[in-house]
Structure 1
Amino acid sequence: MGSRAGGRRTGPKCIAIVGPFASGKTTLLEAILARTGAIPRQNPVSSGNTVSDHSPEAKAHAMSVEASVATTDFMGESMTFIDCPGSVEFSFEADAVLAGCDVAVVVAEADEKKIPALQMIMRKLDDLGVPRILFLNKIDKTAAGVRDTLKLLQPASAAPLLLRQIPLRKDGAVIGSIDLALERAYVWRDFAESEIAEIPDDEKAREIEARFSMLETLADHDDLLMEQLLEEKEPPRDEVFDDLAADLREGSVTPVLIGTAEKGNGVLRLLKTIRHDAPDIETTRTRLGVADGKAAIVQVLKTIHTAHGGKLSISRVVTGTLPDGTELWLSPTESAKVSGIYRMLGKDQSKLGAANAGDTVALGKLDGVRTGQTLTTTRGGTAQLVAIEPPQPVFAFSIRSRERKDDVRMSAALQRLAEEDPSLTLNHNQDTGETVLSGHGEMHLRVTVERLEGKNQIQIDVGPPSIPYRETIRKGVTQRGRHKKQSGGHGQFGDVVLDIKPLARGSGFQFTDTITGGVVPKQYIQSVEAGVADYLKAGPLGFPVVDIAVNLADGSYHTVDSSDMAFQMAARIGMKEGLAQCSPVLLEPIMKVEIATPSEATPRITALVPQRRGQILGFDARPGWPGWDVVEATMPQSEIGDLIIELRSATAGVATYTATFDHMAELTGRLADQVMNEHAGGKAA
């Protein structure tokens, strides 16, 4: 492998800013926008006036709750930064963004507790093949040495962390940085450009050692550089920069830059690294498997419904040129016309006449178009570039409007919110009549409800979703059911004898008949089955009855007074009187649960499961995730409702789980009484 000419890339870039919660992503974007002149000054997050956290929900919770887009210019080149939320509850926002961006800036700090969260982010970047730069933030508050910090962070990254800068210290405080590629010192000035300085004599040995370590890592991918190091020759500076750029674009290394975003320190070096070394749309096209061409291909990164401008689709133009008014095709039968092209700066928009390859813009009113989809000007559509699958929900609310008159508005608003956030799931439970909203944590759903109420002026009530309890019987009985009524003219008469028996768990409902001699005419046997099935919707305990066999063994009829309705009523009477004698018992759903957790927290998780009436089946290393385990267990569904809150509390916010139905099990005693009392109280209300 020889030396590789990096070749400086030009053209618009799209950069995702990602990182663990509270690592300083929004602050970094604010510093970038101030440094590039997009905003007059850098506002602290605490002010509530940052470009990113402009929504009422973000301000109320002092945290990013959605991806925010800001385009700026640096040294004559357009750069679009997309600030992605750090909370795991909103992490799905980044998936579609990362699929279409050129590079990710991962904001991290020397905090051991945040390593698992950092590992999750790095793993996602690896899976998508997205190159990344690590910005080691809050360097002025880091007590540990920067190389010790990298040793701490390295397990989170599959690619080697390549230190490009080391701190410049004076009297124990970090006052700037030393660039290992340029071999130059920079003294930081808050919110201003750094001053170039000579490397102090007492720092030279440390700089030489750190630079050699950087070159050794680069030499792993460059034979010529390896020869130069072995022969103790100083490699040409241009070749070093070429290697740095090539290794970043290929994902062979993760360059590490240092700074303090809160003071704007280190931001200029980061911007120059992005400008000179980061890939652009040409490389991203290759990653996505797209050949350049005249037809425009557009990847939708995010959907927004604005108060006055309607629907906006934040999109990356992958190929071609896109004038306003262009018709874009999703499939052979689906198309939408662009109505407005906008450059974004947080909530602010400026209108453009067209967008070119590499631009990240908002496209107006693409009805029917969803986040993650690929559009083209070619009639008939194009292959979808990425498949974005939201993770399984881990938290749910039963949701309803406080005023019945708002039901239709609430339904439409929920659909818009689900369009903005594909990780939301909406289901209507036919058994309970509930609308169930599911997502990735309590905060995720609370923010969704706040948006629903704030944007639409609808008052909402939420609560835990109903658990699908069932009931069954422990023993059988033979029971007659007779319905006889005379009220002048034709009366009503139906008479049945039912053999009722329990079935094995999971068998459902079986109906048979052993009628002989026509004691119950054939046309009424279906009526009996219908009456039985109708009663089973709510048995003696008030819940649907399962795992039961009913045989119509005998009966009688009247030639004039018998009818379909009379035999249905007779069947219901027989079931009501019979099931009460069959030792009815409550059944609760038991779920198979797989919990993914950092290994250090596994003992806490295995202790937590029995506290929720769960049973540990075992645990093992999580495949492909060093330092993680998967705990397998069974657990009642009623105990899973707020499980994610406790799991995340035990794991610095990173554990998650999947749950699938396993079986139904008997529930007796105090808990069963409580369930039945609450159910009866709910029906009475």
Structure 2
Amino acid sequence: MPASPRTGDTANGVRGAGPRCIAIVGPFQSGKTTLLESIIERCGGLSRAGSVKTGNSVGDAAAEARAHQMSTELNVAGVEFLGQRFHFIDCPGSVEFMHEMRHVLPVVDAAVVVCEADDRKAPALELVLRELEEADIPRFLFLNKIDTATRRVRETLGILQRASRTPLLLRQIPIWKNGIAIGFIDLALERAFIYREHAPSEIVPLAVDESVREKEARFSMLEKLADYDDALMEDLLGDMEPPRDRIFDDLARELQDRHVVPVLIGSAERGNGVTRLLKALRHEAPGLDETRGRIGVVADGLPLAQVMKTWHSSHGGKLSLARVLRGRLAEGDVVTSSGGTEARIAGLLDLKGAEQTRRPAVEEGEVVAFARLDGIATGEAFMLGKNRADVIIAIAPPEPVHALGVAVKDRKDDVRLNAALARLVEEDTALSMAHLAELGEMRLSGQGEMHLRVTLEKLSGRYGVAVDSRPPQIGYRETIRGHANARGRHRKQSGGHGQYGDVVLEVAPLARGEGIRFVDRITGGVVPRQYISSVEAGVRDFCQRGPLGFPIVDIEVTLTDGSYHTVDSSDMAFKQAARLAMSEALPQAKPVLLEPILTAEVVIPSDAMSRASAIVSSRRGQILGYDGRAGWRGWDQINALLPEAEMAGLIVELRSATSGVGSFSARFDHLSELAGKSADAVVSAHALAQAR
């Protein structure tokens, strides 16, 4: 394949003149935040790197992140390296918080995927790499914790390759001593380096006994590069040594074209391999021009920025983290969002973890927090002036997989709860809340148990709102199996005009999904026409809560007879008579409880199929079939019907059985009869709750 032209080059081999934006991503506990800490230290932003374990790292500064020793939201830091400005965005690795990176990826220039030599984390790595592949992001892979690795790198690479649809290109091999990696050989530079703790590696002569390994690994790297460079292929076939500049050109071009994923090695905790990673980013990662081309933003035009994250701080109000994709924006500028909202920039802040530094203006390519862009949401673009910004990319929130019913412990906090949740939902696009009037429940939905636990901790710690939580209530219904009829007569005399209404109703079951049907079969005017609608209103009002205590569905109610009084009859009297007739007829018509059944698609790695099937079956699930997950090698899908009452905690159990990567999507399918002890337990529990 002929080489494609290279763009964005400047002098000294540095690609792109403006600031770079790099995402740091990877599976849970792979060392992403530790890598960010080492990068800041190496670039002079820290005198000594902190630690996630000791709670003094720049990233994970939020109380919830410190408490759980895990990233629960983005960490941001800007640094200078050899005269190049970098903005690093460290994204959470837990599957419950992985949605945080989805609004980041479209506007970054490249990503560093942090992983380790642990085949148990390969499925989680595949989830991360799939997100990058679908967003079309150039990416490096940083094989972390090389100092504790027990496998040879080539063996590890084989495991990691199964998680990547793009070929992995090994750029460095370790130097081993007594089974411990003490340094590395850079295959492009053909130089050996010995690690120094929290300092740049030391260049050393390439040992004779390492030469054979180096030549073999280097030739393998060049062969992969030659798949996309005919001139390099000719050099290799002719046993000619290709010029080093061409090799670096190929590395940069094939990264940008997403033909390969370069793999570098190191230890973030010890600061090993960090300098070479930064140099690779400086010389090979695409710049803003390529990023604009990828997402369809032209270079000319009014200043434009894209929001990646929203925060509500306790003192400074709303902050919108955004990258400026075009032009220059300053404090006081009026901007308009892609949604049509106009706002004034109240301030601009550089972020380094929790540290904020105010600045008057921001240039294109940079990442800053914009203060008080009220009405402009995460994922929206905004442009200088009063013209609506073009929508860059629309990202749908992930489907919720876990939910809780929440209620304030102190009734006076009701208003504060609504306001606090509204802010948290604005901050977190995967979080949703809903008021379910029928169930009398405020429902909070998200991506898992920890996701919602952190949300409740924010409610309490940040907003001072204490809540009780419980599994979500189920929308049970009831219907009837048989036929019945009954008379309802409402008669009351209390001086002056009395009240009189008399109806005879017949009830019968309907097919599932037909709702409530009212039929008028009155002849001879025994119930005057003006009262028929009141009878129907009384029927429908009664159906809001049937004899079992739940809304009634799928019945036909027929008005067959009745009587009236010329003076005392009224709309209210006939409505009450209808309710009385329904209360007599329904218990005679064999009422039955209905539970909602969902159709679910459970996705899991293939080796977890038997465990996942057992989980579904143990929850009264009806398995409809199995299939390979479309487009995912080594993954399967279970199609099943599951009662909604069995969905609570399903995601927790699935993830426990699949190293944290199993998931599902579900939607309502139908209502099904629930009988026996299960139905009795539901009715009894509901009656007890109503009595409280």
Class of the TM-score when normalised by the shorter of the 2 chains: over 0.9
**1:422 paired to 2:429:** yes
Is the contact made by 2:3 and 2:230 (CA closer than 8 Å) also made in structure 1? yes
Cα distance in 1, alignment partners of residues 561 and 364 from structure 2: 78
Deviations 1:414-473 (A, max 9, x none): 111011001111111020121111000011001001101111111111111110000000
Structure-to-structure mapping, 1:345-356, within 5 angstroms: 345-356=352-363
Partner of 1:320: 327
Residue 106 of structure 1: which of 101, 105, 113 is its match?
113
Partner of 2:224: 217
SS in 2 for 1:363: strand
Deviations 1:150-173 (A, max 9, x none): 011001111110000000112221
**1:141 paired to 2:148:** yes
Deviations 1:621-662 (A, max 9, x none): 111111111110000000011110111011001011110111
Is the contact made by 2:91 and 2:100 (CA closer than 8 Å) also made in structure 1? yes
Cα distance in 1, alignment partners of residues 359 and 25 from structure 2: 28
Cα distance in 2, alignment partners of residues 27 and 333 from structure 1: 40
Deviations 1:550-603 (A, max 9, x none): 010000001111111111111001000100101101000000000111111112
When structure 1 is superposed on structure 2, of 234-243 and 479-488 the one drifting more is: 479-488
Cα distance in 2, alignment partners of residues 19 and 299 from structure 1: 23
Is the contact made by 2:500 and 2:569 (CA closer than 8 Å) also made in structure 1? yes
Partner of 1:65: 72
Partner of 1:443: 450
* One-letter amino acid matched to 1:346: G
- Report the alpha carbon displacement of residue 294 of structure 1 after superposing the two structures with TM: 4.1
Partner of 1:508: 515
**1:560 paired to 2:564:** no
Cα distance in 2, alignment partners of residues 71 and 369 from structure 1: 24
* One-letter amino acid matched to 1:97: V
Q: 1:633 to 1:548 in 2, by over 3 A?
A: same
Cα distance in 2, alignment partners of residues 469 and 158 from structure 1: 45
Deviations 1:21-70 (A, max 9, x none): 01110111111111111122111211111111100000111111001111
Cα distance in 1, alignment partners of residues 199 and 129 from structure 2: 31
* One-letter amino acid matched to 1:426: M
Partner of 1:622: 629
Deviations 1:296-350 (A, max 9, x none): 1101010011111111100000011112111111158521111111111011111
User: 5+ residue gaps in structure 1?
Assistant: none
**1:363 paired to 2:366:** no
Is the contact made by 2:621 and 2:642 (CA closer than 8 Å) also made in structure 1? yes
**1:344 paired to 2:351:** yes
**1:276 paired to 2:283:** yes
Cα distance in 2, alignment partners of residues 596 and 332 from structure 1: 35
**1:187 paired to 2:187:** no
Partner of 1:489: 496
**1:405 paired to 2:412:** yes
SS in 2 for 1:629: strand
* One-letter amino acid matched to 1:681: L
SS in 2 for 1:344: strand
Is the contact made by 2:538 and 2:574 (CA closer than 8 Å) also made in structure 1? yes
Give the TM-score normalised by structure 1.
Answer: 0.99
* One-letter amino acid matched to 1:312: L
Deviations 1:243-284 (A, max 9, x none): 111111111100000001110011111111111111111110
Cα distance in 2, alignment partners of residues 441 and 154 from structure 1: 28
* One-letter amino acid matched to 1:183: E
* One-letter amino acid matched to 1:108: C
Cα distance in 1, alignment partners of residues 685 and 339 from structure 2: 52
Give the TM-score normalised by structure 2.
Answer: 0.98
Aligned residues: 685
Cα distance in 2, alignment partners of residues 172 and 313 from structure 1: 48
* One-letter amino acid matched to 2:447: H
Is the contact made by 1:304 and 1:311 (CA closer than 8 Å) also made in structure 2? yes
- Report the alpha carbon displacement of residue 192 of structure 1 after superposing the two structures with TM: 1.1
SS in 1 for 2:96: helix
Cα distance in 2, alignment partners of residues 645 and 457 from structure 1: 28
Is the contact made by 1:26 and 1:45 (CA closer than 8 Å) also made in structure 2? yes
Cα distance in 2, alignment partners of residues 523 and 322 from structure 1: 67
Partner of 2:590: 583
Cα distance in 2, alignment partners of residues 334 and 105 from structure 1: 34
SS in 2 for 1:47: coil
* One-letter amino acid matched to 2:303: A
SS in 2 for 1:504: coil
* One-letter amino acid matched to 2:513: G
* One-letter amino acid matched to 1:631: I
Cα distance in 2, alignment partners of residues 596 and 355 from structure 1: 44
Partner of 2:379: 372
* One-letter amino acid matched to 2:367: T
Cα distance in 2, alignment partners of residues 119 and 597 from structure 1: 12
Cα distance in 1, alignment partners of residues 205 and 301 from structure 2: 50
* One-letter amino acid matched to 1:21: F
Q: 1:211 to 1:437 in 2, by over 3 A?
A: same
Residue 309 of structure 1: which of 303, 309, 316 is its match?
316
Residue 177 of structure 1: which of 167, 175, 184 is its match?
184
* One-letter amino acid matched to 1:230: L
Structure-to-structure mapping, 1:88-127, within 5 angstroms: 88-127=95-134
Structure-to-structure mapping, 1:503-542, within 5 angstroms: 503-542=510-549
Residue 203 of structure 2: which of 176, 196, 199 is its match?
196
Cα distance in 1, alignment partners of residues 589 and 4 from structure 2: 83
Structure-to-structure mapping, 1:450-469, within 5 angstroms: 450-469=457-476
Deviations 1:353-394 (A, max 9, x none): 111110011111000011111111153212211111111100
**1:264 paired to 2:271:** yes
Cα distance in 2, alignment partners of residues 446 and 634 from structure 1: 28
- Report the alpha carbon displacement of residue 141 of structure 1 after superposing the two structures with TM: 1.3
Cα distance in 2, alignment partners of residues 206 and 4 from structure 1: 33
Partner of 2:648: 641
RMSD (Å), alpha carbons: 1.1
Cα distance in 2, alignment partners of residues 2 and 276 from structure 1: 18
Is the contact made by 2:339 and 2:380 (CA closer than 8 Å) also made in structure 1? no
Is the contact made by 2:338 and 2:380 (CA closer than 8 Å) also made in structure 1? no
Cα distance in 2, alignment partners of residues 279 and 455 from structure 1: 39
When structure 1 is superposed on structure 2, of 505-514 and 288-297 the one drifting more is: 288-297
* One-letter amino acid matched to 1:173: I
Is the contact made by 1:332 and 1:379 (CA closer than 8 Å) also made in structure 2? no
Cα distance in 2, alignment partners of residues 246 and 604 from structure 1: 44
SS in 1 for 2:240: coil
Is the contact made by 1:247 and 1:253 (CA closer than 8 Å) also made in structure 2? yes
Is the contact made by 1:4 and 1:243 (CA closer than 8 Å) also made in structure 2? no
Partner of 2:86: 79
Cα distance in 2, alignment partners of residues 416 and 529 from structure 1: 43
Q: 1:107 to 1:333 in 2, by over 3 A?
A: closer
**1:56 paired to 2:68:** no
User: 5+ residue gaps in structure 2?
Assistant: none
**1:390 paired to 2:397:** yes
**1:20 paired to 2:27:** yes
Is the contact made by 1:164 and 1:255 (CA closer than 8 Å) also made in structure 2? yes
Cα distance in 1, alignment partners of residues 68 and 496 from structure 2: 71
Cα distance in 2, alignment partners of residues 17 and 2 from structure 1: 29
Cα distance in 1, alignment partners of residues 339 and 198 from structure 2: 52
- Report the alpha carbon displacement of residue 486 of structure 1 after superposing the two structures with TM: 1.5
SS in 2 for 1:540: coil
Q: 1:585 to 1:360 in 2, by over 3 A?
A: same
